[in-house]
Amino acid sequence: MLKQDQFVTPLLAWYDKNKREMVWRDRGNAYYTWISEIMLQQTRIEAAKDYFVRFTEELPDIQSLANVPQERLLKLWEGLGYYNRAKNLQKTAKILVEEYGAELPSDYEKLLALPGIGPYTAGAIASIAYDIKVPAVDGNVLRVMMRYQASLEDITKISVRRRVEGELTEVMPERPGDFNQAIMELGEVVCIPNGTPLCDRCPLAETCEAKQKGEPEQYPRKIEKKPRKIEKKTILIYEKDGMFGIAKRENKGLLAGLYEFPSIAGHFNKKELEEKLAEDGIIVKKMQSLGAGKHIFSHIEWHMKGYLIELSPTGKQPELIFASLEEVEDTYSLPTAFRTYREKMRKILNKQKEGGVSEKKGVL
């Protein structure tokens, strides 16, 4: 059982002294709280800061988020991954405009009913923006609690999260937002997930059961993850007069609705690839290997080989959008998975410019 004097009081005192400055923090802005919490679900705080500033400068409120074209929204989200988060943000923004006067409701249950908002996010918005006494339990909070109680429970189970929520609710102080953020902050910078926790800096060390046992890194219990599925892909970067071919993905499945460099399943060397493309009537004039690339999603890994290809005008031409690299980077939302090849193309173009060659003459 948690105690005010042993858990809440020292935790808030530590937070008041050590909390980090965040661009979204201490503004009393529910919109900022919402956007930042959605971004931070799969992104480190340091990485999220610049994305947050860029996003909120262009979309400063719920109305602007509801009205922005989806392609522009996805471009603003580019690099954060898990693009359904951005789509759910807009779905929710439209509901808020229609039903709540373009404001986030100050009610936990109403927040929970909105697309993309689960128990943690609803708790964070309600407590941080509206001072409602509800917990916000994320992975950091669960780790702190399992160590504090020396518990080997499975933190992936809903029953464990609910138990923790109940215990935190019982000791929730008059500063619920600060209390929730204090536990999360402690988990991020002191009771860290990877490596040995920094117990000498922890305000809860004196009453932490895992610390008393001398083995805090043993908690929480490690849950074995399923190995990711490996998918081999050959990335085809078609070039024409300094422009590069991209295609829009289907509006379903992985990376739905985003743009991509076309690809084919499997790995091919140059000769094999020429023969493969010729089967579809595509004739290669020149080809250059761009080497290997890898991208890790939550459940799969793409192992890639890339080629820069100039097509013969006598063969079939793929139905693609041809755009400059500047347009690809500024206008079209390409997943981070293709960043390796965008960077390689940028190096090729920069080298070409240094040599005084116009991009319009082609890259190969």
Which has the minimum average pLDDT: 50-64, 92-106, 177-191, 327-341? 327-341
To the question of domain 229-361 being in CATH 3.90.79.10, the answer is: yes
Total residue length of the chain: 364
Class of domain 4-218 as given by CATH = mainly alpha
pLDDT at 301: 93
Residue 86: exposed, middle, or buried by beta-carbon count in 10 A (0-12, 13-18, 19+)?
Answer: buried
* pLDDT for residue 1 is more than 90: no
* pLDDT for residue 287 is more than 90: yes
Active site residue 99: no
Candidates 21, 37, 217, 231; catalytic one: 37
Q: Domain residues of the chain, as ranges? A: 4-218, 229-361
The model carries a pTM of 0.83
Alpha-carbon gap, residue 37 to 40, rounded angstroms:
5
Cβ(123)–Cβ(137) below 8 Å:
yes
3-state secondary structure 307-351: EEEEECCCCCCCCCEEECHHHHHHCCCCCHHHHHHHHHHHHHHHH
pLDDT in tens, 149-163: 999 999 999 999 999
Alpha-carbon gap, residue 38 to 122, rounded angstroms:
11
pLDDT in tens, 218-231: 999 888 888 899 99
Cis peptide before 220 (omega within 30 of 0): yes
Tokens of 332: 């079209």
pLDDT in tens, 22-75: 888 866 799 999 999 999 987 888 889 999 999 999 999 999 999 999 999 999
DSSP string, 37-66: HHHHTSS-HHHHHHHHHHHHHHS-SHHHHH
pLDDT in tens, 196-246: 899 999 999 999 999 999 889 999 988 888 889 999 999 999 988 888 999
Distances (CA, A) of 27 to 23, 31, 130, 354: 9, 10, 12, 47
* Spatial CA neighbour of 338 closest among 185, 250, 226, 235: 235
Q: Are strands 300-311 and 229-240 parallel, antiparallel or unpaired?
A: parallel
